[in-house]
Amino acid sequence: MASLDRCCIHTITTKPWALPEAVEKYAAAGVKGISVWQNATEGIGPRRSGELIRAAGLEIVSYVRGGFFPHTSSAGRAQAIDHNKKLLEEAAALGAPMIVLVCGASPDQSLDISRNQIREGIQAILPLAEKLNVKLAIEPLHPMYAADRSAINTLAQANDMAEFFKSDYVGVAVDVYHLWWDSELEKEIARCGANGNLFAYHVCDWKVNTIDLLNDRGLMGEGCIDLKKIRSWVEAAGFKGFCEVEIFSNTHWAKDQDIFLKEVTEAFIQHV
């Protein structure tokens, strides 16, 4: 039966709300999980944020987001590694079991070079992730972001990268917005499930007339993604975690967020 039992919301989805307000409203709406964006903990700190969330009865699903490893200079790459280590410490203080990696890319070098730098970056932070018991979820991004946001653009590439490490702490995040178009998707979801690497599942929708590459994601049901089919693949691959609603949208952020949250929960029950 459709319900909100597996419903998690990313704080960025209701960006106008500060964390305490988001926590209170999500819990009151019957949402069970929350993924915390770094900006949401500003002014409160990760430890206090974690206490606040647990006191409201919500489960922390992930801390968002690390990565952005590639850089043309070695100093830039070292800085990225330091930043990711700091994020891992924050995730541990928050009580998040995982951080999501938007891996990064640089338009000033080839995608191959960027991918090598991503591998080196993950290698460099993995010992700390293991020590802190925080997993790393590689999130492939739609190819429209290949120039400057991620050189990992398909689930096959993310699976290759995750499998390279042979670690329980490195896996992938499947986000329908980035991957819905891929004819290999069912096969690659099965592959990452079979390898124990399917760490996270993110939902929203792809609007046919997308007007902004970053901030015009659709609410589930507003676009053309077959969400129920992809969820069935994810669950057939053994995934038992949350379906995380992650919507960046100038249109939805401009609305009354109480109304939008109601739309999110209704859309989740109907379409996810």
The residues that touch Zn ion, with contacts defined as CB under 5 A, are: 175, 202, 246
C-alpha to C-alpha distance for 209 and 215, rounded to whole angstroms: 13
Cα dihedral angle (60, 61, 65, 69), rounded to 10 degrees? 130
Q: Which residues contact 156 (CB under 8 A, 6 or more apart)?
A: 184, 188
> To the nearest whole angstrom, how small is the minimum distance from the Cβ of residue 173 to Zn ion?
6
In angstroms, give the least distance from the CB of 146 to Zn ion: 16
Distance of CA 16 to the CA centre of its chain: 19
Measured from the CB atom, is 63 or 77 closer to Zn ion? Answer: 63
- Tokens read off for 45: 């700190």
Which helix or strand (DSSP H or E) is residue 199 part of?
strand 198-203
Q: How far apart are the first and last CA of the chain?
A: 12
Q: How far is the CB of 139 from Zn ion (least distance, A)?
A: 5
Note whether 139 and 212 are within 8 A (CB). no
Distance CA 272, CA 270 (A): 6
Q: Helix or strand or coil: residue 8?
A: strand
CB of 175 to Zn ion, least distance (A): 3
Q: Quick one: 101 or 122, whose CB is closer to Zn ion?
A: 101
CB of 122 or CB of 243, closer to Zn ion: 243
E strand intervals along 43-95: 59-67
User: What is the per-residue burial (b if ≥16 Cβ within 10 Å, else e) of 138-165?
Assistant: bbbbbeebbeebbbbbbbbbbbebbbeb
Please say which residue, 53 or 245, places its beta carbon nearer to Zn ion: 245
71 vs 202, beta carbon nearer Zn ion: 202
Closest approach of Zn ion to the CB of residue 210, in Å: 16
Per-residue CA distances from 63 to 39, 136, 150 (Å):
10, 10, 18
Which CB atom, from 15 or from 202, has the smaller least distance to Zn ion?
202
